[in-house]
Amino acid sequence: MRHILYRLKDRYHLGTPVFQRDDLCFVTVKRFELRAILTELRDVEGFTHLTLLTAVDWIEEQQFQLTYMVNNRVANLTLALRVMLDREDATGDTIHDLWPTAATYQRELREMFGITFPGSPRVDEEFILEGWTDLPPYRRDFDTLAYSQQTYNDRPGRVTHDPKTHMQKTLYADYPKGAK
């Protein structure tokens, strides 16, 4: 894994690599170099499989992080590339011509995070949700609890017990031990 990163580092801007395991590494790349790196990984380094493409909403930094995880089955290596996008105009670059499966991931990201990928096939069609008119539900400024309370009726009588006080009341007065 490290020698692949050394080879890439000469020509591209790579962030500090984070090794979760010896065969699993996360590295941040620049957006305009992403396509070149992915193509090189696929065609030269043998990372033939796109394991996943997903997003993280960093609302405090006003950014979306896209994670492209690619896998080299022969050498059993997994490399994940992170790309930061501006949250305001969330537009990514489509890679459906590198891996056709990416089109499905991009449709999902379009619906759940509102990140568009211009040029990706059927990206503006509904994917899972039907008739959704609110904020994309995986964005962190979307409050699922508030939404569900405003949309679906509650049945009265539902109570929540705090486990700690419940344990103290019913089983052990000095729970957790030595609390009293």
Partner 1 sequence: MKDVDDKFLKNPDTEVPLREELRPRKVTTPDGQEIDIDPLRDYFCEAKPKVHPKAYSKIVEDFYNWARANSLWILGFGTGCGAIEMRPLMTPRFDAYRYGIQWRPTPRQANLLVISGYLSVKTLKRAIRAYEQMPQPKYVMGLGSCTINGGMYWDSYNTIKRLDDYLPVDMYVAGCMPRPEALLHGFMELKRVIKEGKGEGANLYAENFDQYKANQKAVIRDWDMPDYNW
Side chain identity, residue 156:
P
Output 131 or 163, the one with its CB closest to partner 1.
131
Output 158 or 177, the one with its CB closest to partner 1.
158
Output 38 or 112, the one with its CB closest to partner 1.
112
Cite the beta strand spans of 22-161 per DSSP E: 24-28, 49-58, 63-72, 77-86
Strand order in the sheet with 18-21: 18-21, 24-28, 77-86, 63-72, 49-58
Residue 132 sits in the site that holds partner 1 (CB under 8 A): yes
Instruction: Report the nearest approach of partner 1 to the CB of residue 147 (Å).
Output: 5
- Interface residue with partner 1 among 129, 166, 170, 179 (CB under 8 A) is 129
Output 74 or 159, the one with its CB closest to partner 1.
159
Residue 137 sits in the site that holds partner 1 (CB under 8 A): yes
Residue 159 sits in the site that holds partner 1 (CB under 8 A): no
Q: How many CB atoms are closer than 10 A to CB 79?
A: 25
Residue 128 sits in the site that holds partner 1 (CB under 8 A): yes
Q: How far apart are CA 16 and CA 67, in angstroms?
A: 15
Instruction: Report the nearest approach of partner 1 to the CB of residue 118 (Å).
Output: 22
Instruction: Report the nearest approach of partner 1 to the CB of residue 135 (Å).
Output: 8
* Cα 166 to Cα 159, 162, 170, distances in angstroms: 12, 6, 6
Residue matched to tokens 């080879």: 7
Residue 176 sits in the site that holds partner 1 (CB under 8 A): no
Number of residues that bind partner 1 (CB under 8 A): 26
Going by C-alpha positions, the residue among 49, 42, 6, 57 that lies closest to residue 27 is 6
Q: What angle do CA 169, 173, 175 make, to 5 degrees?
A: 100
Residue 131 sits in the site that holds partner 1 (CB under 8 A): yes
- Interface residue with partner 1 among 60, 88, 89, 141 (CB under 8 A) is 141
Q: Which residues bind partner 1 (CB under 8 A)?
A: 128-135, 137, 141-155, 157-158
